Structure 1
Amino acid sequence: MALKALIVLVSCLLLSSCSDSVHTGADYQYAIPEGFPKPPEPADNPMSAEKVELGRWLFYDTALSVNQTTSCASCHDQQHAFAEPKVFSVGATGQPLKRNALALVNVGYNGSFTWAHNGLQSIEQQLLIPMFSENPIELGMTGAEQDIIYRLDDRHYQTMFDAAFGDSDINMQRINQALASFVRSLTSFDSAFDDYAYRYQDDALDGLAVAGMELFFSERLECFHCHGGFNFTQSSRHQLQQLDLKPFHNTGLYNIDGKGAYPLQDRGLIDITLEPDDMGKFRAPTLRNIAVTAPYMHDGSLATLEQVVDFYSAGGRAEGVNNPFKSEFVKGFVLSEEERQALLAFLQSLTDEKFLTNPQFSNPHQVVSQRYVDSAD
C-alpha cells in the first residue's frame, strides 16, 4: 500500500480526494472523479449540456468540410480514443497531413495543443487550424463559410443553436465554440489503473501490471518525468497546476546530419519558435488509452507499443541516440523480458473501455439514420 499511495500522490498532483463521482461545475457536470479539478473554460465560452450536444452533432457532420466528404470524426475515431490508425491523416481534398492524429482524451486539461506549438492557449484556438488551414487543407472552410452555414441552416440545427446560444443564429464563431465544448467534454477516467489508484480496488491490476507501474514511476526508467500527473502528460493546465511543466521534448527519434537535425518537413517546435534548442521537440501526449492509438510518435513511425518500449529502452533510434538536443530523461535502460511485459501490461491498464464506447460521445447521425431504417422496416 505504501507504493500505491506514492503512485496516487504523484498522479493526483496534490488533489484533495480521488473517490469516484461526478464533478459539478457551475452549469455543466463533468464526468470526473471527485476532488479532481475541472478543465479550465474560456470566459466567453462556458460549458453547457446544450452546447456540448450541438458540438457532438457538428463533430460528426461532413457538412463542415468544403466538399462535404470529411468531418472531425474522420480523423478522430472514438474506438481509437479519437485518434486514427493511420501514419498520417488525409484532409477533405485528399491532401495528406504531416503528422499523426493526436488522441482527444482529456484535452480540456491540455496546457498546449497540437504536436509542436507553444502559442495555442485554448481548444477554441487550436480548432481554427483544422477548420481554416490552407496548407495542408483539413476541413477546408476558408472561402466556404457561407456555403457551410447554409447547409446547417435547417430546423434541426436552428433548434440546437437556439438551445445552446439563446437564438438560432448560425455562424462560424458559434460552430467553433460548440465543437470546442464537445471536445472539452471528452473525459476519460475509467481505466483499470483508475480503479486501482483512485477507487482503491486492489484487484483492479494484476501483479504484472503493478510491477509495470513500479517501473513506470521509477527513476530507473524516468517515464513519469514527461508523462506525469493524473493525465499522464506534463502538458497540463487546471486549477491546481496553471503552467506547463516542460511539455515539449526531443526524444532522439532523428539525427539526420549528426548535429541534431530532424527532417525538414517537420522539425518540431523550432518551426514555431525559431530557437535552435527547440529542434526536434514535440509535446508529450497523454498515455491514457495509449494501447488503442497506434501508430505512435508525431510521424507515426512506430507501429506498436512494443516498438515504443524498445525505442525508449535504446535511448532513441539509430543516430538519434546521440542527438545533442535529446531530453535528459531519454537515457535508455535495460529490461528483462518479464519487465518489458510488465511495463506493457501497465500501459494496457490505462485503456478506458467505457470511453471508447460511451454513447454520449458517439455519432448521433448514425443513431438517427438507424431509427429511420428501423421505422421503415
Structure 2
Amino acid sequence: MNSRALLSWSTAVLSVLLLTACGEEKKPYAWQLPPGFPEPFVPADNPMSEEKVVLGRFLFYDERLSGNGTMACASCHEQQRAFSDAKATPSGSTGHAVPRNSPGLANVAYLATYTWANPVLDTLEKQALVPLFAETPLELGMGTRLDEVLQRLREDPLYLELFRAAFPDQKEPIHEDNVVKALASFQRTMLSGNSPYDRYLQGDITALSPAAKRGMELFFGERAECYHCHSGPHLTNSFRSKDTKLSERDFQNTGLYNVDGLGAYPLNNTGLFEFTNNPKDMGRFRVPPLRNVTLTAPYMHDGSIATLEQVLDFYTAGGREVTSGPYVGDGRMSPLKNPLVRPFELSAQERADLIAFLESLTDQDFVKDARLSNPFDE
C-alpha cells in the first residue's frame, strides 16, 4: 500500500470510528441541502447514514468493483464533467460498446426514474444493479465474477472497517446488497444548487448577465417552449422528493430519428418501446435535467449531438433529418414526435442569449466539492 493510499485508508477508518463512537443510538441523517431544495426520497429499507455515504464514496471510485478490476463507476462519471464522461457512448470494462450516453449525476437523488428509458428503475438502488450486473451490454461486469469482487473487498482492511461501520447490525456485511445501498447513499449526496441561476432565484439579481436573463425569458416562454419538458427545480419533468408522490413516468420522442418513415429508431436504441412493446413508445426517452449542461456534452440519449449550439439547431428545425449512414430519415416528419417539437426561428442574438442562460446553470462548486471527489487521491 503506497503512502497516499495508506493516508486515505487511515483517514477513512478514523472518520468511521469517530462516527460510530458518538453513541449507539442513531441520529437522523443531517442533509446538507442547497437553499430551497426539498429532502430527497429515500427508500425505507436504506435509510441514509454518514457511514454509508463514506463507504459509497470509496466504492464509487474503486476499479476493483468491476469484474476484471479495470473500471469504476467514476470511469464513466467524472466529477469535473458533472459526473458525465465527454464521450458519445462509453465502453464497458471488457471493451463492449454501451449504446447510450453516460448522463451527468447532479441532483440524481430527485429523479423519478433512472437510465434513459426504463420505467421500472425508480430508485438509485434499482439503477445500480444495471451497471453492476447487466450483461447486455456489459458495463462493470460484476455479475459473473461476484464472488471474486466481494473477496477483493473482504481482503482489504479499509473495507472491513467501512462496511462494519455502515452496517453495524450485520455479522457479515460485505455482500452485494450493501454495495448497492452504499453506492445509492453516496449518489444522493451529489447535490448541485449554487449556480448563477440558483443565486438569482435566491434573490441575487446580479447573478445573471443581461444575456442570461433574456435567455431565461426565452427558455420559459411560449416561442421556444423548452420549459414544457425541462421544468421544475432541476429543469426536467422527471422529479421526485420525500414529500411528492411518484407521478406517471414521462418520456418523450423529440424527432431525433425516423428510420422507416413511420417513426422507427435504431434497433439498439428504441427507448421506452424496448420495455413496453407499445408502438407509440418508439423513440421515447426520459427528459434529462439541464443543470451543469455545459459540462455534459455530447447530448441526447446516444450522444449524437456534439454541442449546445447544435442542440439549438435541432430544436429550431423541429427535429433532425439524417441524410447519410444506416439511419437515414427525417425525424422532423416523425408521426411519433412530441408536437411541441416544431420549427421556430431565433435570431443570432436570441441564440446567444439562450446559450448564456444554459451556461448560467453551471455550478462550479459542485464539480470541485471535495466531499464528492476521489478519496484515493487524498
Shared topology, TM-score over 0.5?
A: yes
Matches within 5 A, 1:208-287: 208-244=211-247, 247-287=250-290
Residue matched to 2:107: 106
Is the Cα–Cα contact under 8 Å of residues 42 and 242 in structure 2 kept in the other structure?
no
Residue matched to 2:159: 157
Aligned partner of residue 195 in structure 1, secondary structure:
helix
What one-letter code is carried by the residue in structure 2 that aligns with 1:118?
A: P
Matches of 1:103 and 1:246, distance apart in 2: 20
| 1:334 is aligned to 2:349 | no
Q: How big is the alpha-carbon RMSD for the aligned residues of Structure 1 and Structure 2?
A: 1.4
Matches of 1:69 and 1:103, distance apart in 2: 21
Matches of 1:33 and 1:130, distance apart in 2: 29
What one-letter code is carried by the residue in structure 2 that aligns with 1:336?
A: S
Matches of 1:86 and 1:155, distance apart in 2: 35
| 1:354 is aligned to 2:365 | yes
Q: How many residue pairs were aligned? A: 342
Is the Cα–Cα contact under 8 Å of residues 231 and 286 in structure 1 kept in the other structure?
yes
Matches of 2:374 and 2:37, distance apart in 1: 28
Going from structure 1 to structure 2, the CA distance change for 1:33 and 1:245 (only over 3 Å counts) comes to farther
2:177 to 170, 173, 177: 173
Is the Cα–Cα contact under 8 Å of residues 256 and 320 in structure 2 kept in the other structure?
yes
Residue matched to 1:47: 48
Q: Which has the larger displacement, 272-281 or 149-158?
A: 149-158
Aligned partner of residue 205 in structure 1, secondary structure:
coil
Matches of 2:243 and 2:48, distance apart in 1: 20
What one-letter code is carried by the residue in structure 1 that aligns with 2:108?
A: V
Going from structure 1 to structure 2, the CA distance change for 1:86 and 1:34 (only over 3 Å counts) comes to closer
Is the Cα–Cα contact under 8 Å of residues 295 and 301 in structure 1 kept in the other structure?
yes
Write out per-residue CA displacement over residues 250-308 of structure 1, whole angstroms, 9 at most, x where no aligned residue: 00000111111111111111011111110100111000000000000011110000000
Residue matched to 2:146: 145
1:135 Cα deviation (Å)?
1.4
Is the Cα–Cα contact under 8 Å of residues 112 and 247 in structure 1 kept in the other structure?
no
Residue matched to 2:20: none
Residue matched to 1:295: 298
What one-letter code is carried by the residue in structure 2 that aligns with 1:232?
A: L
Matches of 2:256 and 2:299, distance apart in 1: 11
Q: Which runs of 5+ in 2 are unaligned?
A: 1-26, 322-329
Residue matched to 1:188: 192
Residue matched to 1:16: none
1:237 Cα deviation (Å)?
1.0
Residue matched to 1:366: 377
Matches of 1:66 and 1:40, distance apart in 2: 31
Residue matched to 1:59: 60
Matches of 1:240 and 1:233, distance apart in 2: 18
TM-score (norm 1): 0.88
Matches of 1:293 and 1:203, distance apart in 2: 26
Matches of 2:239 and 2:252, distance apart in 1: 15
Matches within 5 A, 1:119-138: 119-138=120-139
Matches of 1:241 and 1:312, distance apart in 2: 31
1:240 Cα deviation (Å)?
4.4
Is the Cα–Cα contact under 8 Å of residues 234 and 245 in structure 1 kept in the other structure?
no
What one-letter code is carried by the residue in structure 2 that aligns with 1:313?
A: T
Q: Which runs of 5+ in 1 are unaligned?
A: 1-25, 368-377
1:163 Cα deviation (Å)?
1.3
1:67 Cα deviation (Å)?
0.8
Is the Cα–Cα contact under 8 Å of residues 125 and 181 in structure 2 kept in the other structure?
yes
Matches of 1:346 and 1:323, distance apart in 2: 29
Write out per-residue CA displacement over residues 174-221 of structure 1, whole angstroms, 9 at most, x where no aligned residue: 001000101111110010000001x20000001000000000000111
Matches of 1:159 and 1:138, distance apart in 2: 28
1:33 Cα deviation (Å)?
3.1
Is the Cα–Cα contact under 8 Å of residues 41 and 243 in structure 2 kept in the other structure?
no
Write out per-residue CA displacement over residues 302-328 of structure 1, whole angstroms, 9 at most, x where no aligned residue: 000000011111110011011111112
Going from structure 1 to structure 2, the CA distance change for 1:305 and 1:35 (only over 3 Å counts) comes to closer
1:162 Cα deviation (Å)?
1.3
